[in-house]
Amino acid sequence: MERITSPETLQKRIDECTSVFQAKIKGEGGKRAVVVCGGTGCIANDSVAIEEELVRLIKEKGLEDRISVNHVGCFGFCSQGPFVKIFPEDTLYRGVKVKDVAEIVEKDLIGGQVCENLLYVDPVTHEKVARQDDITFYKKQIRIALHGCSLINPDKLEESLGYDGFKALKKALTTMTPQEVIDEVLASGIRGRGGGGFPTGRKWQFAANVKADQKYIVCNGDEGDPGAFMDRSILEGNPFEVIEGMMLAGYAFGASEGYFYVRAEYPIAVERLQNAIKDMEAAGLLGDNILGTDFSFRAHLRLGAGAFVCGEETALLNSIEGKRGMPRPRPPFPAIKGLWGKPTCVNNVETLSQIPFIIREGASAFNSIGTEGSKGTKVFALGGKINNVGLVEVPMGTTLRQLIYEIGGGIPGGKKFKAIQTGGPSGGCLTEKDLDTPIDYDTLVARGSMMGSGGAIVMDEDNCAVDVAHFYMSFICDESCGKCSPCRIGTKRLYEMLTLVTEGKGTEQTLKDMEELANVIKAGSLCALGQTAANPILSTMHNFPEEYIAHVTEKKCPAHVCKNLMSYQIIKDKCVGCTLCARNCPVSCISASDVPARPMVPGKPALPGKFAHEIDQSKCIKCGSCMAGCRFGAIVKQ
């Protein structure tokens, strides 16, 4: 690409790229465009092979001049992928397989007919939906952080420029002072999307007020919550937007160097970020005297080794410096003394991705969305026992009921909703009584949970609250850096006590000790990992006390999840003696009893020599193979 050396040349390139991009999606000149989801989830389901097959067949048919093929970022609706979308009709095909590509080419791209069998089917109306915007999953979403995802090719700077890219940077460098940029961010009301919720503009102002010969801006992409994939998807779908947000931050408080800290388990995000930085350097959008101004900025990439604690900003800074990822005492805060002792602002991926919108469209456009104390939108990774698993971006103030039932499509199999864990290991469980709670920073904290970075794991009646707390405490024990005693030792003791409870060896005193220790860890830990480590325990003990009591007094798991407190039983008057359960059993603990089996067909006699089966509980390893294979509903958990 021709180097961009001034505001005028940037505007020229933006105009040219916008014209090309709009022509593509509007189908000008009789051309059509096909985009394939290039997010990690769809790539894992052969979307690369789908794209390659599209390219091959289009070339074979001699259609290269009329039809373009690109990969784009995540569509969000992960449970329905892989996706193929066709412009200008906006036809969205879901669940596409490589074998479907020939049909798409022949029937749609050549014949002009929609492939009905690949359309989304509304579960309520049972009607087939051809356009993305008409699908209920998308109707309540507003894409600001996910701007450009599922529309632009994340490997092409030209497509970013064609879809609002770097308009905010041009506006800031040519019409705004650094303080005016900070004031605009302050006026927007945006709070850090990484979990703490600290006002972003205030953080920048602190750093701006410090005199120093060098300042840094760091992008925290070390997303470690189980089930969270918001930051990864943003970096995969539009890395240019995040870089632009980082540059605006650097301009605002005087940083000339930026560091992306991204976990190495995100190879696609890392590759696309590297390509974006390289392309921007070649185009003159990174380096010295950007757009011919006094502003110089360089971006660097550092890979994290997967330590959850490095999501904490001071541990992250230590890791960038080549030290062990362990938190630092505060104060001094990073905005005063951060990376290599210099003033540093640490913002997460989602926060930086929303800054270009704020500068481009104005603070009022952003703060008109959301609630009084939480402005704008929030991206959630919606997972667990939910029909519509995926990535959603909703206005702050959206209720949990809307998130779970309207966007998420409710609970699979008609099961009863039990709880939603927000904030990952740092958060807590919210139950049916909280379903009409607006999602924002303050209301979630008031309810005993937190926003966190945006993980949202839904649980149904088959989940055990004690087992959930046990899982999260196991994770925290593994991820504790060990620097402070309350977290290093306390979380281990909590995990041991929870293990006793799940094994039926706990007592009511165990529960009292757990609650007391949880509060001590919360008060005495050095960083947020330890300070929030006990939240899953405290919230589940508060919301589901009867389940804890059942585990320690009745020695039963009401949800039949904790293996030591449950068993598989064969209901003999339902068993037909087919022997399938016995053949599936890996430890041969199922055999025939002396009770005759029931008839396989009602009204007819049982087969001769068939007896109901029974399970030897002393040998059973509770793997569930017998229940999974039984076709007559004769095996139950007790």
pLDDT digits (tens, 9 = 90+) for 507-562: 999 999 999 999 999 999 999 889 999 999 999 999 999 999 999 999 999 999 99
Residue at which a domain ends, from 328, 347, 367:
367
pLDDT grade for 127, boundaries at 50, 70 and 90: very high
Strand partners, 199: 191
Residue 20, domain member (yes or no)? no
Q: List C-alpha distances in Å: 238 to 91, 155, 233, 277, 355.
A: 22, 9, 8, 12, 14
| 563 torsion bin: left (phi>0), alpha (psi -120 to 50), beta (else) | alpha
Say yes or no: 344 and 211 in one domain.
Answer: yes
φ, ψ (nearest 5 deg) of residue 304: -90, 155
**H/E element holding 337?**
none
pLDDT grade for 80, boundaries at 50, 70 and 90: very high
Say yes or no: 237 and 303 in one domain.
Answer: yes
* Helix (H/G/I), strand (E/B), else coil: 151: coil
Say yes or no: 180 and 216 in one domain.
Answer: yes
Distance CA 156, CA 535 (A): 43
Domain containing 131 — which CATH number? 3.40.30.10
Residue at which a domain ends, from 416, 432, 460:
460
Residue 149 CA from chain centroid, whole number: 14
Residue at which a domain ends, from 526, 554, 582:
554
Distance CA 207, CA 339 (A): 12
> In the chain, what percentage of residues exceed pLDDT 90?
88
Which residues are CB-neighbours of 552 under 8 A, at least 6 positions away?
501, 506, 507, 508, 510, 511
- Cβ contact 452:383 at 8 Å: no
Which residues are CB-neighbours of 197 under 8 A, at least 6 positions away?
191, 374, 441, 451
* Distance separating the N- and C-terminal Cα atoms of the chain: 67
Structural domain count, the chain = 5
Residue 467, domain member (yes or no)? no
Distance CA 434, CA 414 (A): 20
Residue count (the chain): 638
Domain containing 200 — which CATH number? 3.40.50.11540
Say yes or no: 234 and 118 in one domain.
Answer: no
pTM of the model: 0.93
pLDDT per residue over 327-354, tens digit each?
Answer: 999 899 999 999 999 999 999 999 999 9
Q: Which two tokens stand for residue 150?
A: 């599922």
Residue range(s) defining the domain that contains residue 393:
377-460
Say yes or no: 437 and 530 in one domain.
Answer: no
Say yes or no: 41 and 124 in one domain.
Answer: yes
pLDDT per residue over 147-198, tens digit each?
Answer: 999 999 999 999 999 999 999 999 999 999 999 999 999 999 999 998 778 9
> In the chain, what percentage of residues exceed pLDDT 70?
100
Mode of pairing for the β-strands spanning 216-221 and 257-263: parallel
Distance CA 84, CA 104 (A): 9
- Cβ contact 283:169 at 8 Å: no
